[in-house]
Structure formats: structure tokens, C-alpha cells
Structure 1
Amino acid sequence: MKVNKKGVVAIILGGGQGSRLYPLTETRSKPAVPIGGKYRLVDIPISNCINSDIFKIFVLTQFNSASLNAHIKNTFNFSIFSQSFVDILAAEQTPDNPTWFQGTADAVRQCMSHFLKHDFEYALILSGDQLYQMDFNEMLEAHIKADAAISIATLPVNAKDAPEFGILKTNHESFIEAFIEKPNASLLPEWESEVSEQMQEKGKKYLASMGIYIFNRQLLEDLMADPETKDFGKEIIPQAVGKHKILSYQYEGYWTDIGNIDSFFEANIGLTADIPEFNLFDDENKIFTRPRLLPPSKFRNSNINQSLISEGCIINANEIKNSVIGIRSRIGDGTVIQHSYVMGNDFYQDIDEMNKDTANNKIHVGIGENCYIKNALVDKNVRIGNNVHINGGKHLENFTNELYSIKDGIVVIKKGAILPDNFRID
């Protein structure tokens, strides 16, 4: 079945304040958080759309959206002869909508006038903070073939993970008959659904909503007419069950919700595996991002093992192991970095600037000499002096100050922070 892609608009929900990703979201919106050394989170859903030949894309956001605006403006430029676009829709106060977005459904409701200017039959609604690679064509084809009013992408999960999700119960035709939000473990035996034999063998018998939806246009318009419903997962979907044909589209590939520092950290470190579950090296599923005119990375006396090194780096480190190093990173002699994500820098310092910093006893941008950094997230444009020791781990209690935060044992050095010589976190 051939799907008319011109009849589809994609709506990417940028999320709220992203408080669970603090301090990475202190000065930027959640979709703008750098991932994988050179990308941003918003690149993932946008790339999935482009790889699925969906080129009418809206991104909805309201908090700290300046860097996200700049990234999208500098990245996703289509031909002037094309009807393709990636548009940012920031929350705006109007006579009809005097408040900010109150939830995912409210965000879509407040922006409906912008969507309805376009000719489309189906609205594909996506989250801006998930890591996965999906061909939306297959989901759209299943939606049309089943004559569904709504389709929800679902992921088989085990009993341990099920209480963290909205769980769906399906019939033998994969239509959703019931929905429960974050069920108690004692209720799970009643919520098993039909899954593949492979998923059954792994104990993944419960279908979790991935927060990826397809709505028929007219139904979306009708549902958005009720201003009392604020959220898709908590209100729209539960209230639609039993009233409309809702299809469960089962997805068995890699998917993770970048909801907190721990999941964000593990998703990035997971990219360094020999065969990562999220494959950056796939011509069929490219991740598109801002093209940068950066030089190749340069190394001296460095032992690099199972790590991703982005372009434009100057690395004299003694060892980098099981880590992701972002663009324009500068790492000094004798430094050891293990199991960490260094986001890199937005700019280079030239020789004159570095000499001036040295004369004024000011630390250079980057990571200095003879440092030890483990289990850490180093945000952009950080200045770390010499002999700095950061040893993250479960032995550390949660903590935050103006320089860094500790969450679940992961040390997060804040954007632009300055750590002096001999600074220690252990």
C-alpha cells in the first residue's frame, strides 16, 4: 500500500521545562540538548520523519527555545521550490489562549490553527525526547489498512518496567480495548497482550505506549475542541478507548525515553558499544544534523578505546575509554576520561586568547592536564583546570550547586562552569 506522504503532518512535542534533565535544561529546551557528541535530541524524530519521506514537520516548544530555534534554522533548510519545512511553534499568548501550554494535548490544541492551514489527512504526533529509529511508513500503512481512527506505537515490556508506562490491552486484531496509566505490579497479570514469540521468550508480555500517535484529521479536530483535556497519555487516549477504533502498532526495535539524567547518560554511553542498539552507522536511517565546517580531530600520545570522537577536537589525553567526546573538545596531556560524555565547545580559543588567559591565571576552555574524569557529563564550554579529579558513582549523594550537580551517581558539570586546578569530586 502506498501512503500519500503529502497527506501527513508531523507534530513533535518539545516537552515542558525538562526538570528531570536539569541542569542540562537550565539554559536550553529539552529537544536542544546535545546527544552523541554532535547531534541534538530533536534531530532524532526529525530524521525519522525525513527517512520516512515526511517533510511537513512542526516542533512545539515553550521553554528556553532560543538555541533550538537557531539549531533548526541552521540545519533543516529545504529547497525554495519545495513545500517541505521544519517549523518551530513556540507557545504564544493570544486572546483565545491566554495561558502557556498546559500539557501535550493542550500544546496541540493551541497550535491547531497553524496545522489546519495545511492539507493533510493524518497527524503523526511524536515526542521530542526519545531515542529510536522507526519507519513511520509501516505504521501509517497499518493505520490505513485497519481503518483505524487512532494508532499508537507500542513496545513490549517486562513486568519490571511495565509500572513505569501507560499499559494497553489489545484484542486478537490488535485493537486497544483498555488502558491503564502506570499500573501497580499486582494488576499486571490481567494486562497481558498478544506479542511475538520472541518477545514472549524475553518475558515482554505487556504493551507500553511509546507516546507516538497517528490521528485522523477530523477526529483530532473534534478531540481538540474540548479545552478541558490537557494531555494525550492521561486524558485523550484513555477517554477515546471504547469510543473509537484504536490500533496498537507493535514496535520491537530499540527505543528509550530520555526522561532523566540516568537514561540520557546511559543512552549516550550505549553508543560506544561494539554493536550499539541505536545505530549511527546506517545509510538507510541517517541522523541529520547541522553541517559544520570543522577540521578533522587531532590526537597526540592518546590511547582511545571504545569511544566516539566528534570532529574538530584537539586531544592529548593519556586515555579515553568508553566515552563520547563532543565537537571542538580540547583535552590536555596526561588526562584520563572513562565512562563519560564530554559535550565539547561552541567555539575555539585562538593562541592569543589562550596566552592572555595564561597571563591572567585564567583557565582555558576545555579540560586541562593530568585530570581524571569518570562517570561524568561535562556540558558545553566548560573550563576545567589541571589535576582535577572527578570520580562519579553510586557512593555520591545527590547534590547541586552553581558549578555541578550529582544525580544517581552521575556528576554533571554545568554549561560554562569553571573548575580550578586541583578541584575534586569523589
Structure 2
Amino acid sequence: MRKTVAIVLGGGQGSRLFPLTLHRTKPSISIGGKYRLIDIPVSNCINSDITKIYILTQFNSHSLHSHIHSTYKFDLFSDKFVKLLAAEQSFLNKDWYQGTADAVRKNIIHLEVSTKPKDLILILSGDQLYKMNFQKMIKHHIESSSKLTLAATQVTQEKASEYGLLQTNSKNEITHFIEKPQTPELQKPFLRENNTFLASMGIYIFERDTLFELLQTSKGDDFGTGIITLAIQTKKTSAYTFDGYWEDLGTIKSFYDANLKIASNKISFDLDGIYTRPRFLPPTFIENTLITRSMISDGCSILSGKIEDSVIGLRCQIDSNSSIKKSVIIGADFYDKKSTSSFGIGKNVSIERAIIDKNTTIGDNVKICGDENLKNTSQKLYSIRDGIIVIPKGTSIPENTQIP
């Protein structure tokens, strides 16, 4: 088996996920109540027996660094690792990461030391939801004698403008590629017989020396707009079609929808086999509460009320006669010694179609009700994205407040 080193890209600003990215980078955002998005690619690597993993970081990275350091610790006497490579200035590189490819380019000096010429390098995104056995993709890559293999999935025309689109021949070799075509005219040549498009998942396997050559030859800062196009023109590239569940969580709506689908078991994805930091919290206490199609994390206290189609995160404290529907309550980072928790939902509170970020206090008799017809806005206490109300981390909502 050829050695494979994984690189997870985690340094982007994540502006479409604002205000969840106000204090953290995208891969550090909570998913499924107790996990972080970064746990998805790292767990996929570990489950695929890929245990040399670099994570490239730059923007709002403290939370991500803290999570990685406290979660992924291998045997001291093995060569397994999950290492952080933060953006840094040096005598050779005085700029920060300018894009996904540039982030890897600036770390060639580290990769040259930890890899050998015949090794494979697996490039992953830190903000996607899926389970994949990368060994199957590696097998396809080796058997096809490709220099680069892209993981691809089928998407509808509605989403075609969001991804790089591929054309392949009968041998699954990539013949044409276009990055995020915005018009039907540009998309039309890539339309397949079943009225779908083959889209790049942002998951790549490179021959090590091929990657280094492309990064040094191309002036492009991103894989999609520079490296991939050059590789298709000059190297043998192939597509590995993935037919499992996969979702790019780059927007508030996609993040919100994915959480609720996990809770309601409406997608072919579960959190079994996904690793995260052990927290050793007490069991959740629930009293006189009707719970339907929801996930409740550890360390919560939930008094009489109703929870429907929702995700309740770690250490949530929910007082009596409160209703939570179609919402993601991310939870709290710690318990307050003077009170039950630094985070709390008061009495007689109604929350629907909302995301409540960490360490947030919701006063008694508050009503937060999102709606698909609401316009996007950003206020001091909340933001609205695609009809979803987002309460930022650490916000305190006074009692008797109605949002919007």
C-alpha cells in the first residue's frame, strides 16, 4: 500500500456562514450537537487508515486549534499525527494564504520533509458532510495510472453554478472542466443524459511530485481556477464518482438543513464512526418534555416543554414551558459556577426556524420565529439568512423580546 498524506484546508473566512464565523473558522462550527465540522474529514481519514494528516489554518483559528490539540492524540511511539500548519510569514513568503492552492504551495517546505516522491497527497475540504472510504478512491487512482484523481458527485441544474463541472470519457478520464459556471450557456456542454451534472467535490488525490510541479508552474491561487485546469491540460486526470450522501456546508441554509436532516434521520448519513473530543459530561436530565425527531446532546437540563425537529447541543439549559421547533441550539462551552450554565433558555420561550449559537442567554417570554419570506439582515442581536434567524455567540436576549 502506498503511503498517503492528507491535507485538510481550513483557513477560509467563511463569509457566507456569518455570523457563525464571527469568532471561529468554518471547520470549527458545531455539527450534530457535539461534533465539529473538522471531525468529518479527519474521521474519514482515520477510518480509511490514513493517519498522517495536516490541517492548514489561517482565519479565526484559535477555536479550531484548541479542538484539534485536545482531540486527536495518537500513540507517542507511532508515526501517526494530526498537525496544524498555520499561515505564517517568513523570509520566503511574506503574504498570508491567497487561496486553497496557495495555502498548500506555501507549505511545500513541510511536505517535502514528511513525504517521499512516490507518496500520494489527499487534499480535503474542512466544511463538508459525508462518509467516504478513501482507500477505494486511492485504488481507482492507482489502477487508472492517473496523476490526479478528482472525487465527483452528481448535482442538479439548480446547484450547477455552485461547483466545478466535469466532462469525462468512457474511461472516466477528465476531458473538460469549468469552475462554477453561472449561465445556462456555460453549463449546457456539461449536462449529462440523465439531466444531471458531474460536479467536483473538492477532494483530490495527487501524485506527490505532480502536485509540487503544478503548484510551482501555475500562478493560480485556487485549485479550481488554476491547478485543476492546468492538470487536465498537461497530465492524465480521472474522476472517481461518489454516490453516497455529500453536502457542502458553505451557507447558513445548508448548515441548518443538514443538522435537521441528521436529527430526523432523513438522509443516508449518520454520526457513527465520527470522532470528537471526549468531554465527560453528566447525562442529560429531561422532565415532562415531549421530544419528536430531535437529537439531545450530553450535559443538558430540559424542563417541561416541547422539542420538535431540532438539535440540542452540549450543556443546554432549557427552562419550563418552552417550545423549540426546527432549530439548532448549539449549546455552551462550560458551566457557570454561580448559575446552572452560562447559556440558558428561559421560561415560556418559543423558538422556531433558528440557530442559537454558543453561550447565549434567552430571557423569559422571548419569541424567535424565522420564516422563509423574511429578508436577509444583520442586527445587533440577530441576523437573518434565507429566513433563518441566527443569534450570535455570547448574545443576551432580554425577556419579552420578539424577533424579528
Question: Counterparts of 1:376 and 1:233 in 2: how far apart (Å)?
Answer: 33
Confirm whether residue 163 of structure 1 aligns to residue 148 of structure 2: no
Task: Quote the Cα distance in structure 2 between the aligned partners of 1:226 and 1:149.
Answer: 15
Cα distance in structure 2, aligned partners of 1:122 and 1:175: 19
Which residue of structure 1 aligns with residue 190 of structure 2? Answer: 191
CA distance in 2, matches of 1:169, 1:110: 30
* Number of the residue aligned with 2:358: 380
Query: What is the one-letter code of the residue matched to 1:159?
Result: Q
* Matching residue of 1:110: 106
**Displaced runs of 4 or more, over 4 A:** none
Q: Determine the structure 2 residue equivalent to 1:397.
A: 375
Deviation at 1:227, TM superposition (A): 6.5
For residues 227 and 29 of structure 2, the distance between their equivalents in structure 1, rounded to whole angstroms, comes to: 28
Work out whether residues 316 and 332 of structure 2, in 8 Å CA contact, stay in contact via their aligned partners in 1.
yes
Which of 354, 373, 379 is equivalent to 2:339? 354
Cα distance between partner residues in 2 of 1:275 and 1:23: 27
Tell me the distance in 2 between the aligned counterparts of 1:270 and 1:254.
12
Aligned positions, number: 401
Equivalent residue, structure 1, for 2:247: 256
TM-superposed CA distance for 1:219, in Å, is 0.7
- Amino acid of the residue matched to residue 36 of structure 1? G
Equivalent pair of 1:29/1:68 in contact (CA under 8 Å): yes
Rate the CA distance shift 1:157–1:395 in 2: closer, same or farther, 3 A: closer
Give the RMSD, CA atoms, in angstroms: 1.5
Task: Look up the SS of the partner of 2:233 in the other structure.
Answer: coil
How far, CA to CA, are the matches of 2:91 and 2:192 in structure 1? 46
Deviation at 1:268, TM superposition (A): 0.6
One-letter code of the match for 1:157?
V
Partner of 2:237: 246
**Within the alignment, does 1:320 sit opposite 2:316 as a pair?**
no
Matched, 1:46 2:42: yes
Deviations 1:12-51 (A, max 9, x none): 0004111111111111111111111100010000000000
Superposition map of 1:274-423 within 5 A: 274-280=265-271, 282=272, 286-350=273-337, 353-354=338-339, 365-423=343-401
Corresponding residue for residue 83 of structure 2? 87
Partner of 1:272: 263
- From 183, 191, 213, the equivalent of 1:222 is 213
Secondary structure (helix, strand or coil) at the match of 1:161 reads helix
Aligned to 1:10: 6
Q: What are structure 2's unaligned runs of at least 5 residues?
A: none
Q: Within 2, Cα distance between the matches of 1:97 and 1:227?
A: 17
Unaligned 5+ residue runs, structure 1? Answer: 195-199, 356-362
Question: Would you say the 8 A contact 2:215–2:227 is kept in 1?
Answer: no
Deviation at 1:261, TM superposition (A): 0.5
What letter corresponds to residue 321 of structure 1 in structure 2? E
Show the counterpart of 1:175: 173
Give the 3-state SS of the residue equivalent to 1:26 in structure 2: coil
Name the structure 1 match of 2:94: 98
Counterpart residue type for residue 151 of structure 2: A
Asked if structure 2 preserves the Cα contact closer than 8 Å seen for 1:272 and 1:307, the reply is yes
1:58-113 deviations in Å (ceiling 9; x for gaps): 00010111111110000000000110110111100011110000000000000111
Aligned-residue offset at 1:193: 5.0
In the aligned structure 2, how far is the partner of 1:397 from the partner of 1:20? 15
